């Protein structure tokens, strides 16, 4: 019997997969528990249409994210920080500071999507910004001494 999975089932498949299972397993367990729906011809046709639309939306989102990643990669962020002796910073440059600097350049990013190495000195560093699933932008960060 063909069924369409609503949730991931171990050793069977992931959500959205169409799988073949025994009739009793489907009707007595998977469907009543809400893990799957019966794969009638109309349900399968509707599922195919849903997958096609989802793929189209996903492609558009990935294209938008890649365009955003190109904009972010073109940026050179400059962060001024208080410096002690020998060029060491008081504290460290955080992802939140990088996110603010990117926002000041006109591109909104969430600080949770920014990953930077531990920056505790002056110089140039590389960070990453997650734009979408699997789409990352490299960002150049320059840390300079704050003018007093």
- The conformation of residue 17, written as its DSSP 8-state character, comes to -
- pLDDT tens sequence across 91-114: 889 999 999 999 998 999 999 999
Please state the φ and ψ torsions of residue 44, each to the nearest 5 degrees.
-65, -40
Nearest to 119 by CA among 86, 148, 145, 142: 142
- pLDDT tens sequence across 67-76: 999 999 998 8
The pTM for the full model equals 0.68
Beta pairing partners, 141: 77, 125
């Amino acid at each position: 019997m063909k069924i369409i999975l609503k949730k991931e089932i171990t050793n069977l498949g992931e959500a959205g997969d169409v799988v073949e299972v025994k009739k009793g397993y489907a009707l007595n367990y998977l469907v009543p528990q809400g893990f799957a729906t019966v794969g009638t011809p109309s349900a399968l046709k509707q599922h195919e249409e849903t997958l096609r639309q989802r793929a189209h939306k996903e492609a558009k989102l990935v294209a938008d994210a890649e365009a955003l990643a190109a904009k972010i990669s073109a940026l050179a962020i400059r962060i001024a920080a208080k410096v002690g002796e020998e060029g060491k910073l008081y504290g460290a440059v955080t992802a939140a500071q990088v996110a603010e600097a990117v926002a000041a350049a006109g591109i909104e990013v969430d600080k949770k999507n920014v990953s930077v190495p531990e920056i505790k000195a002056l110089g140039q560093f590389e960070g990453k910004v997650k734009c979408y699933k699997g789409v990352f932008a490299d960002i150049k960060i320059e840390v300079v001494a704050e003018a007093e």
